[in-house]
Amino acid sequence: MSLDKIIVPLDVSSKEDAIALVEKLPQVTFWKVGLELFVSCGPEILTFLKSQEKRIFLDLKFHDIPNTVAGACRSASRYGVDLITLHATAGKTALKAAQIAAEDAAKEAGYPVPKLIAITLLTSLNSRDLAFDLKVPLELPEYALNMALLAQESGLAGAVCSPQEVAQLRQTCGNEFLLVCPGVRPVWADKGDQQRTFTPVEALKAGANYLVIGRPITASDDPVKALERIIEEIG
């Protein structure tokens, strides 16, 4: 069912606002907790989501030295979350250490091992940003693919990529590799700061496992209708 493929970010600044959104959209089973909410209310929001039997994408995008990234993934894996993000640019040693730490911690806590997924290149960046600001001498699709392969070679379950790169990553990384796509915009929605977008239908056709769709739903005057419209479009 298409609703199972949609992850909605709780990009709000308080636990009360987050709970109100979860209650407004009871049909959503998979929620994303990102930096804004986690920094303001901490793990309490994870406890709430677990109590509602929701799946949790903990999107804190860890990026640090191997010992620190592994420690963060160890702590995060004790909450029983389903997905955790870290930046592929932390490097192979950090990604491998994070995977081992997550496996050990989840087992100790009695939870299934969360899937670690690596950020390839933020969907708010375009080719110009990559070439001129970040001074990366690779074409954007090649860079994103290299980051995904780095994650795969390090034993991670998947990657976060723009829907525009998902077909290439799916072809190279195979069907078992999880591809989670933010930067998804129905034609009627504002793109905001997202640079590399596809519609929900295009992203799923290209091979995405999950679509992260935030503001088109959560910033809409009627989030319930906006979600229904997206589900209808996906069919």
Ligand X SMILES: O=c1ccn([C@@H]2O[C@H](COP(=O)(O)O)[C@@H](O)[C@H]2O)c(=O)[nH]1
Residues found near ligand X in the complex (CB under 6 A): 9, 11, 34, 59, 119, 122-123, 160, 182-183, 192, 194, 212-215
> Is 65 marked as binding a ligand?
yes
> Minimal CB distance to ligand X: which residue?
214
Length of the chain (residues): 235
Quick one: tokens of 153? 């070679």
Q: Do residues 95 and 154 lie in contact, with contact meaning Cβ atoms separated by under 8 Å?
A: yes
* CB 109 within 8 Å of CB 78: yes
CB of 213 to ligand X, least distance (A): 5
Please say which residue, 68 or 220, places its beta carbon nearer to ligand X.
220
Nearer to ligand X, 6 or 101 (CB): 6
Q: Which is nearer to ligand X, 34 or 158 (CB)?
A: 34
Is residue 67 annotated as involved in ligand binding?
Answer: yes
Q: Which is nearer to ligand X, 29 or 124 (CB)?
A: 124
Residues assigned a catalytic role? 59, 61, 64
* Residue 207 is labelled as binding a ligand: no
Q: Is 194 annotated as a binding residue?
A: yes
Question: If DSSP codes are grouped into helix, strand and coil, which group holds residue 88?
Answer: helix
Closest approach of Cβ 108 to ligand X, in Å?
28
Cα separation of 196 and 133, whole Å?
Answer: 17
Give the span between the Cα atoms of 71 and 85, in whole angstroms: 14
Q: Around 228, how many Cα atoms within 13 Å sit in the side-chain half-sphere?
A: 7
- Residue 211 pairs in a beta bridge with 6, 181
Q: How far is the CB of 27 from ligand X (least distance, A)?
A: 18
CA atoms within 13 A on the CB side of 215: 11
172 known member of a binding site: no
Tell me the binding residues for substrate.
11, 32, 59-68, 123, 185, 194, 214-215
Binding positions: 11, 32, 59-68, 123, 185, 194, 214-215
